[in-house]
Structure formats: C-alpha cells, structure tokens
C-alpha cells in the first residue's frame, strides 16, 4: 500500500497506467525493459547521478539487463512520449529526504509508527533561566555560546528564530560560494529549531532574507518557495547587506502555533 499512496498522490491509477504505457512503448522500440527506460529517464536529469535497483539474493539476477539502462539513448520522439506522460502527473509533496517527513510516507503503515513512537527534537531544548515556561533551542553552533544567543526561543505560542546562516556546529561555512546552497542548509536549521520547540513549517508567519548580493534574489527565493510555497508567510528580502563572515544569505523567521 505504501507505493499505492504515492500513485494516488501523483494523480491516481489512470495516470499511472498512461505512464506505464508510455514506458512500454519506448521499451519495445529499443528492445529493452520498462525498468531500463525508467532508470535511463531518471539518470537523464542533471541532479541525478545514480539509481538504486532492488535485488533479492537467491532469485534470478538481472545485472546484465540492468546495464542496458546505461547504454540507452532517447531520441526526440522518445522524449516527447515520456514528457507527455510525466507532465500529466502531480508533483509529490516535499523534496528529496522528505519521504519519512510528510505524507505520503514511504512506510508500510502510512506514518512513522512502524519505526518510531515519536521523533526526538533535533536540537537541545531547555527552559530559559528566570522565565518559567519560556524555552530555547540551541543548534550547537559555537557562536551561540560565544555571542550569548539562542537559535530559537518559544514564549507561549510564539517562536522566534535568530538570523541563521549556513554554518556547521563547528563553525565551518557550508556552500561558501553559493547563496542557493546556503539557503537550503540554513532553512533546514530554521525548521529543525521550530520543530524542536513544538512547531512546524506550517506555523511560520514571517521570514526575513538578507542577501550580500542582490543578484542572488531569484535563486534564494526559489529555495524559500520550495519550503514555504504552501504556507506563504509574510516576507521581506533585502539585498546589498554586508553580512558577517563568508556568507551570501542570512534568514530569520517567526512562527505562531495554533491554539492548544
């Protein structure tokens, strides 16, 4: 049933059958398997460098057949056939790595109950001294202790996340020459802080983006849209900022949790 949930999310059984028919047409044309065509299509994307093909030891092996995917070349007619079938599909929610984060979950049970009773917080959460009920989350960055701040603070239903850069806990920059890659990393940190304090991406009501180079606005905005496209928080984006350190982008966020 876990695969059927993905079929349903992608458009349903009829769309899936049309996709299989298109794959079958191309496979018969080249004298290869449907699996070969699907693998070759996936490998044709710039962001894909490998596919994993399931194997059951002790049963008939298909290594020689699987290698055909590496030798398969599509012509314009093949691409048009496959594009028509895939364009009719609905994009699966989330991104790479989200298979266990959000529906449709890639688990037998349809959620994480097969694996975990509850997800532990990503970051350490402690009560703020002298403020009963106010909680803070620390990402482990060396700068949080040195500069005396928290990655995020929760007070009641409100979560405020500090300006965040693409920095490892040890203080090393991530993607030092690319604002887009930095945005991906730091938004993961922001969401991890919010989730550690009991919230989620859907609770974010405002973000602020600071760019060293205004020319990076579109690439960073696209990353922001991938994360918050369904949430659509209020947003401010400022370019030409003299950011501290070797960073091209810094983002802060505010979240407001629903009534309990």
Task: Say whether both 60 and 157 belong to one domain.
Answer: no
Task: Say whether both 131 and 70 belong to one domain.
Answer: no
Q: In sequence order, which residues have a C-beta less than 8 Å from that of residue 105 and are 6 or more positions away?
A: 2, 5, 99, 111, 112
Q: How do residues 15-29 score in pLDDT, each as one tens digit?
A: 999 999 999 999 999
| pTM of the predicted protein model | 0.67
Q: How do residues 47-82 score in pLDDT, each as one tens digit?
A: 888 888 876 666 667 778 888 999 999 999 999 999
CATH of the domain at 207: 3.30.1330.40
Query: Which of 59, 87, 115 is the C-terminal boundary of a domain?
Result: 87
Query: Which of 87, 116, 143 is the C-terminal boundary of a domain?
Result: 87
What is the reported pLDDT for 204?
98
Half-sphere exposure for 136 (CA within 13 Å, toward CB): 16
Return the residue matching tokens 């403020």.
131
What's the mean per-residue pLDDT of the chain?
90
Task: Say whether both 229 and 160 belong to one domain.
Answer: yes
Q: How many domains does the chain have?
A: 2
Average pLDDT over residues 184-212: 96
Alpha-carbon distance 168 to 163, whole Å?
A: 14
Return the residue matching tokens 């059927």.
4
Q: Residue 166 pLDDT more than 60?
A: yes
Average pLDDT over residues 248-256: 98
Task: Say whether both 70 and 158 belong to one domain.
Answer: no
Q: Which domain holds residue 184?
A: 124-256
Task: Say whether both 70 and 144 belong to one domain.
Answer: no
Tell me, yes or no, whether 95 lies in a domain.
Answer: no
Out of 2-6, 114-118, 225-229, the most confident range is 225-229
Q: How do residues 108-121 score in pLDDT, each as one tens digit?
A: 665 665 555 566 78
Task: Say whether both 149 and 229 belong to one domain.
Answer: yes
Task: Say whether both 132 and 58 belong to one domain.
Answer: no
Tell me, yes or no, whether 115 lies in a domain.
Answer: no
Task: Say whether both 128 and 249 belong to one domain.
Answer: yes
């Amino acid at each position: 049933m876990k695969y059927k949930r993905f079929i349903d999310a992608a458009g349903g059984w009829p769309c899936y059958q049309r996709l299989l028919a298109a794959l079958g047409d191309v496979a018969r044309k080249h004298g290869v398997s449907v699996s070969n065509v699907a693998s070759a299509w996936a490998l044709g994307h710039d962001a894909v460098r490998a596919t994993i093909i399931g194997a059951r030891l002790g049963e008939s092996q298909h290594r020689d057949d699987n290698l055909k995917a590496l030798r398969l070349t599509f012509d314009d007619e093949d691409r048009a056939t496959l594009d028509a079938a895939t364009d009719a599909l609905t994009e699966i929610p989330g991104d790479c790595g989200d298979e266990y984060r959000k529906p449709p979950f890639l688990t037998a049970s349809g959620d994480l109950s097969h694996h975990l009773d509850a997800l532990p917080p990503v970051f350490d959460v402690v009560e703020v001294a002298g403020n009963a009920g106010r909680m803070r989350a620390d990402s482990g960055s060396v700068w949080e202790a040195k500069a005396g701040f928290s990655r995020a603070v929760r007070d009641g239903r409100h979560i405020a996340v500090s300006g965040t850069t693409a920095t490892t806990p040890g203080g090393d920059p991530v993607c030092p020459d690319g604002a887009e890659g930095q945005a991906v990393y730091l938004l993961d940190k922001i969401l991890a802080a919010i989730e550690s304090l009991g919230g989620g991406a859907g609770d974010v009501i405002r973000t602020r983006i600071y760019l060293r180079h205004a020319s990076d606005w579109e690439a960073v905005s696209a990353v922001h849209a991938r994360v918050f496209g369904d949430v659509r928080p209020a947003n401010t984006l400022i370019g030409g900022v003299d950011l501290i350190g070797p960073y091209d982008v810094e983002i802060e966020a505010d979240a407001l949790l629903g009534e309990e």
